[in-house]
Chains A and B, each alone.
Chain A
Amino acid sequence: MTHWIILPVVLPAILAPFIVLSARYHIGIQRVLSVAGILALIAVTAGIAWVTSDGTVISYRLGDWAAPFGIVVVGDRLSTMMVLLTSVLALFVMLYSIGSGWDDRGRHFHALFQFQLMGIMGAFLTGDLFNLFVFFEVLLIASYGLMIHAGGNARLRAGVQYVLYNLLGSTLFLFALGAIYAETGTLNMADLAQRVTLIDPAASVGIRIASVLLLLVFAIKAALVPLHFWLPSSYAEAPPPVAALFAIMTKVGAYAIIRVYTMIFPPDLEVTAGLHGLWLLPAALLSLALGMVGVLAARKLDRLVAFAVIGSMGMVMVAISMFTPVSIAAALYYIVHSTLAAAALFLIVDLTRAGRDSLHLQARPPVSGAALTAALYFTGAIAMTGLPPLSGFVGKLMILDAAVASPLMVWTWAIVLSASLISVVGFARAGSTVFWKSVSVERTETDPVAPRPAALSYVAVGGLLALLVAHTVFAGQVHKYMGEMATQLFAPDRYVSSVLDTPGKLSGAKEEAH
């Protein structure tokens, strides 16, 4: 059982080159291998999520070198839940790519997809800040390839912006890591959690700068305003299944903020007191407002969903930035919801594209199959905007409830509620223009006639929406589990001792090094 925790990283890492080497020209074999790999991933991640659900922390030392000298992979409730969410999302996105034929519009889709999964899984499971950087780079370089999959000038131009912005983010990450290493002499998260408490509060300039730099890096990943500029163009121009997979990438940033700022720099730590608490919540409220205003202002359906992603990340960050167990539990509930809802909406946008010459919010002649697509859009929009009865509403209630204790409660309630109203108007306007007004437009001879989307595409979207429904129906149990997860996050002793106290090679040397 001890080696299973590394499998979510190793399995895609082996499968991806295997797909390139053995099945480069056979899309059928690639599809079979890819789906089989993802099914195996779901089984493994569900297994480790089950093992850690009672509060166990699995720590795995690569090469049996003891931490902090060796590299560790750690699974606790939070990281195993995130890898399970990733693999489940990957299955539906993969089914959609196969059903819609997107994976056949350029080569190496499946290999890049597996590398992307490897990077995301590694980022969730690693217990070392430098390896977090390495896995960020793995997921980014795979995402560069996926982002420009199927080519096209608009996509390449958006790709250039996306890559440049993320290269700058990576450089900033390295500056932060260098500063942290210079201050503490370690990059192992558990070891860092112990060492930052030893820093003299009178000489905390370096560690304060490092902590803010690190927060900026994660805020770029989480698309927090004003660091969100990379998101709208790249998500709108990326192939829709890829954009749906990218829905989990912004959550990697949110995950990293939760992990680092509850364990290494917790809110009650003296050397970094009053740093991120001061401006993180206003920035999160700003991104929520800006995202939802963007929904209302968007002129194309794909951009509308991209701005909805910014808004929902703002909502997640509002909950995270209060840094209480209640608010983190609400944030975790909302993270699952927002990942599924955003992915479903990106796929629905692609369904809408069938039979239309552009995604502009204008009436086009009616096409066959539009009724089902409209119903799916309606469901996805209800979830995303947070209307009852779906999980967005439950998540929003939890966040509002957690905000009662915050000093910025009035602002939080006002902005969350009015942003929801604006997003409802934005989604309703877009939906009624795109789906309802089409009846009043006469079909001309020149209009393109598109076949109905494949049944598998509907299965994939329906599966994501069904998961959202399940997330709502079992909200009580899920929220209870998220509460336990947040409790574990705010009491990291078990994580730290599991990483540092498990014996391995060089265990004795640790005492001398201190």
Chain B
Amino acid sequence: MELLVASAIGILTAAGLYLVLRLRTFPVIMGVSLLTYAVNVFLFASGRLTVGASPILIKGVETYTDPLPQALVLTAIVISFGMTAVIVMIALGAYLGSDDDHVDDMADHGDPMPEDAQ
């Protein structure tokens, strides 16, 4: 199971990094989402992998799983979800406004130096 989880995190991260390095906003946002999935699984695994164990104290139960990473993952999921929504809205606004969805700076930051008065 360790191998499965570790390779899942690795593949998600690799794919995310590849997409983040693209030039247009849609693949970049997809890449960021993949990276946040990877980090969520990674956080979950940081409390060690335990199968079928309870996170809350129960009488007579000997093995427990660490509940803290689960709480951290919950927070991280909520935050990354909100952040993705924000970036989609801003990117959409920028695309509809300038009819161009590249993430890099436009040449000369969109307004070339006026030539007069030099």
Contact = CB atoms under 8 A, between A and B. Distances in A.
Interface of A: 130, 134, 137, 140-141, 144, 148, 151, 153-154, 156-157, 159-161, 163-164, 167-168, 170-171, 174-175, 177-179, 181-182, 233, 299-300, 358, 360, 362-364, 441
Which secondary structure characterizes the binding site on chain B?
helix
Interface string B76-118: 1001101110110011011001100001111001110110011
Contact of A164 (B45, B97, B103, B117): B103
Which secondary structure characterizes the binding site on chain A?
helix
Given A171-B35, A178-B42, A181-B46, A362 B117 contact: yes
Nearest to B100: A157
B103 to A, nearest CB: 6
Contacts of A157: 94, 98, 105-106, 110
B86 A130 contact: no
Contacts of A144: 86, 90
Given A177-B72, A181-B72, A141 B109 contact: no
B69 A160 contact: no
Most buried by B among A130, A140, A153: A153
A69 B113 CA distance: 58
Interface of B: 20, 25, 28-29, 32, 35-36, 39-40, 42-43, 45-48, 68-69, 72, 75-76, 79-80, 82-84, 86-87, 90-91, 93-94, 97-98, 103-106, 109-111, 113-114, 117-118
A164 B32 contact: yes
In the A-B complex, the 7 residue pairs with the smallest Cβ-Cβ separation, listed nearest first, are A156-B94, A182-B46, A178-B46, A153-B97, A153-B98, A174-B39, A178-B43
Most buried by B among A130, A151, A178, A299: A178
A293 B103 CA distance: 25
A181 B111 contact: no
Contacts of B35: 168, 171
Contact of B32 (A130, A134, A167, A181): A167
Given A181-B72, A363-B117, A160 B32 contact: no
Contact of B20 (A168, A233, A300, A360): A168
A382 to B, nearest CB: 27
A455 B83 CA distance: 38
10 contacts: A137-B79, A154-B110, A160-B90, A160-B91, A163-B90, A168-B20, A178-B42, A181-B47, A363-B117, A364-B117
B109 A154 contact: yes
A363 B76 CA distance: 50
A170 B83 contact: yes
